[in-house]
Chains A and B, each alone.
Chain A
């Protein structure tokens, strides 16, 4: 149950696109199409942004998209806005009915 690997921080200017990676193993990210992404603002509970690797819950802007290749999942945010500044976490099903999170990525909008 090792944490998934995410970059500690990423940044971009308003209007640009950024991609956050989430690397696991064949036992989690690579083995299942059950990756989700969460946005967390300071002092707040996490918010689901992407589920099942690529799906967006209703209400989440289509600027947010998810993908996966092998053992690495990615969250891409296009047309960056100031309100996107937050911490982002990936999560994957890890088999045997368990889950594992990534270490988190701090997104700074310049």
Chain B
């Protein structure tokens, strides 16, 4: 059974840094692509970043230059390093796995999310 478990969220001051983790079981992160999607309180889903099986990483314009996605194959875990955090980064952060690593057509497994609050 596929499971994704996020951790690392919390309260952080503006300008600070935080690293989120997404621990995967039931599939191999290096053979698939994993995305981070966030949801601000009371708002909709917002795609943040993706890391592909070849290691390529891509970002939404709103986080480019501030966030870095990476993975540790030995731990089967994907990370999101978030720097220069802003109030507008406050959200629940979900990691999600592609249904088909060779298609861009949908994500079939989601974690429970971890809450990041950026506030002084």
Chain A residue numbers with a CB within 8 Å of B50 are: 97-99
Category for how many chain B residues contact A: 20 to 34
Q: Which of A36, A40, A97 lies in contact with B106, CB distance below 8 A? A: A36
Q: Between A and B, how many residue pairs show CB distances below 8 Å? A: 79
Tell me which of A33, A47, A98, A101 contacts B45 (CB under 8 A).
Answer: A101
Is A55 a contact of B105 with CB atoms below 8 Å? yes
Q: Does B18 contact A (CB under 8 A)?
A: no
* Residues of chain A within 8 A of B104, CB atoms compared: 32, 34, 93, 99
* Residues B99 and A101 in contact, CB atoms below 8 Å apart: no
Residue contact A50 to B110, C-beta cutoff 8 Å: no
Binary B-proximity of A30-60 (CB < 8 A = 1, otherwise 0)? 0011111010100001111011110101000
Binary A-proximity of B31-74 (CB < 8 A = 1, otherwise 0): 00001010000001111001010001011111000000000000
CB distance from B117 to the nearest CB of A (A): 17
- In the complex, the answer to whether A52 meets B105 with C-beta atoms within 8 Å is yes
- In the assembly, what is the distance between CA of A36 and CA of B98, in Å? 11
Range class of the A interface residue count: 20 to 34
Q: Across the interface, which residues of B come within 8 angstroms of A52, CB to CB?
A: 103, 105-106
**With A1-B60, A97-B52: A45-B94 Cβ-Cβ less than 8 Å:** yes
Contacts of A50 in B (CB 8 A): 106
**Distance, CA A36 to CA B94, complexed state (A):** 17
| Partner-B contacts on A (CB < 8 A) | 1, 3, 32-36, 38, 40, 45-48, 50-53, 55, 57, 87, 89, 91, 93, 96-104
Residue positions of B touching A, CB distance < 8 A: 35, 37, 44-47, 50, 52, 56, 58-62, 94, 96, 99, 103-108, 110-113
Please provide the 8 A-B residue pairs with the shortest distance between their CB atoms, ordered closest to farther: A51-B106, A36-B106, A93-B104, A104-B44, A52-B105, A45-B110, A34-B104, A51-B105
